[in-house]
Structure formats: C-alpha cells, structure tokens
Structure 1
Amino acid sequence: MDQIIARIASAAGISEELAQQAVKIILNFLAKEAPEDKVQMLIDALGANSLVDASSPASGGGLLGGMLGSMGGMGAAMAALNELTSAGLGMGEVKSVASEMISVAKENTDEQVVDDVINSVPALSQIL
C-alpha cells in the first residue's frame, strides 16, 4: 500500500499523507455508492482495506441521506468532493489522484471490474 500511495502522491504532486487521505475519501465514497462485491475487488487490488471505514453508514440514511440519495448519488459525490477540497486538494489534484487510482487498480485486477465500478456511479464524473 505504501508504494501505491507514493505513486499516487507523485502523480498528483502532493504529499503521501494527503494522497492517503484522498484515497480513503474516494474509497469510502465508492463503498457507499457502487456494488459492494466489485468495490471490494477494487479495494483489494489497491491493498487498501485499512482505509475503508467499515462503520460508515450506508448511502441513503436519514432525511438528508434520503434526499441526497434521491439525486442519484450526486449529493454523495458533492460531499466527497467537498471532503477532498477541504483536505487541501484542487480539482486538478483530485483528478490526478482518481486517475492514478484507476490505473493502479486496473494493473492489479480485472479492468472490467474497475470499469464496472466507475460506470455504476454516474455521479463519479464529478470527480473524474
């Protein structure tokens, strides 16, 4: 995992600590929004099980979650993007982190699985 974080940090021109935080935010977003089995394959490909918050509530919980969920995941994508920018990332850096995560995942698992995860979350276009 350390090598992957270093690679993502280098690609995005950010610190390894910030890269790890960004990967965690993106993976937790995907864990809530994409098919569980395919996201787990992606997480395994990145060696990032320790970054996914198992206690995080499923998407659509509560009044606000229900309203955001009815927006087709767009609210969750905006929340994840807000977390990423609050952590100190600009849009270019967010896109670099996401792009490098996708590249690493495709190198370490079935490319179709990665594509399926991406395609299953229409709101992901806000990050990519």
Structure 2
Amino acid sequence: MDELIARITANVGTDPETAKKAVGLILAFLQKEGPAKATDLISSIPGADAAIADANSGGGFLSGLMPGVMGLGSKLMGAGLGMSEISGISKETIAFAREKAGSDVVDEVVNSIPGLSQFV
C-alpha cells in the first residue's frame, strides 16, 4: 500500500492520509460491486484489506444511499477530493492493480461495473 500511496501523492498531489482513504473507498467499492475476480485484484495489493476496513469504518447516515459509481464519487467528494483528484487517484489505483494482478483480472472487474470504465 505504501508504494501506491507514494505514487498517488507524487502524481496527484493529495496528502498520504487522504490518498489512503480514497484507495480504501475505491477498493471497498470494487469488493462490493465487482465480480468474484475483484478478490484477486484486491488481494494483489499489499495492505488493501486494512485500507478497506478503514474506509468502511467511516461514513455517515447518508453514505450508503447512492448506489454505483455515483455513490463512490459522492463518498470520495465527501473525503474532500475534487473531480481531478478523484480521476487521478482512480487511474493510479487501477494502473497499480494492473501491475500487480494483471490486465485480464482488472479489465474483467472494471468492465463488470456499469459506468466505471469511463473513470479509469
């Protein structure tokens, strides 16, 4: 996870804590909304389970009401991120996952979630 967070802070410009929270939210979303292969993607990223647990421990009353990609975007904006930061963090996370889990696994997960491919 440290390698991914360092890439995000260097390339996107967010602070490490916000980057980790965002990655946790993205991975939690993939775990919840993705196919069984999402487990392969998540397990290929060191520290992913802890980041997901941290992301799932937050959230307010309305955090789970908006489904899908829009719900994820809402959660990421609630973490203080703008659209360009959300895009950058999403792209860095998916690129990192491709390096670790392989393109076939990542493509299957991304393509199985309606609307996700336009953001990554």
Using the TM superposition, name which of 1-10 and 23-32 deviates more. 1-10
Q: How many residues align?
A: 110
Taking the TM superposition and a 5 Å limit, the aligned residue runs for 1:47-126 are 47=46, 48-53=48-53, 75-125=67-117
Match of 1:39 in 2: 38
Alignment-mate amino acid for residue 29 of structure 1: F
* % same residue: 40
Verify the 8 A CA contact 1:5 1:16 in the aligned structure 2. yes
Asked whether the equivalents of residues 78 and 126 of structure 1 are also in contact (C-alpha less than 8 Å), the reply is: no
- Structure 1: 4+ residue segments shifted above 6 A: none
How many Å separate the matches in 2 of 1:29 and 1:85?
A: 14
Unaligned stretches of 5+ in structure 2? Answer: 57-63
Contact 1:27–1:43 (CA<8 Å) still a contact in 2? Answer: yes
Cα distance in 1 between the residues matched to 2:28 and 2:103: 20
TM-score, with length taken from structure 1: 0.76
Determine helix, strand or coil for the equivalent of 1:89. Answer: coil
The 3 A distance-change label for structure 1 pair 126 and 87 is farther
What stretches of structure 1 of length at least 5 have no aligned partner? 57-63, 69-74
Contact 1:77 1:126 (8 Å CA) reproduced: no
Contact kept, 8 Å, 2:94 with 2:106, in 1: the verdict is yes
CA deviations 1:36-95 (Å, max 9, x no partner) are: 3x1111112221121224xx6xxxxxxx97xx6xxxxxx332221111011111111111
SS at match of 1:52: helix
Q: Say whether the 8 Å CA contact 2:31–2:42 is kept in structure 1.
A: no
